[in-house]
Amino acid sequence: MPQGMQVWDASGNLIMDTNTPSGVILGVHSFSGGAAGTGGSVVIPELALGNPFHVLRGSWFVDPEITISGTTISWTFSSYVPSAITYELIYGYF
């Protein structure tokens, strides 16, 4: 038998359901800009616990491409980004 809690508002709309998966933020990884074609990666074993996600904080004219493969998050710069530009990669899973 399923367990959990559901809450409805006065109009009968479901506003909370504890059976709905919510995201877990595992951490933040900071990195700086670089030359076109360069990048980096970080291995986060806990990403295997669910469906991984990322959010990139920081901005330049062209932000790096971010990919997730298994437990590895990688980034690649398609054009030069000055090293003074710092990004924060927030990652977790659902």
Quote the tokens at residue 91.
């990652």
As a whole number of angstroms, the distance between CA 71 and CA 49 comes to 10
Low-confidence ranges of the chain (pLDDT < 50): none
Q: Which residue has the tokens 């996600």?
A: 53
Cα separation, 62 vs 81, whole angstroms: 8
The Cβ-side half-sphere exposure at 31, using a 13 Å CA radius, reads 20
pLDDT of residue 1: 56
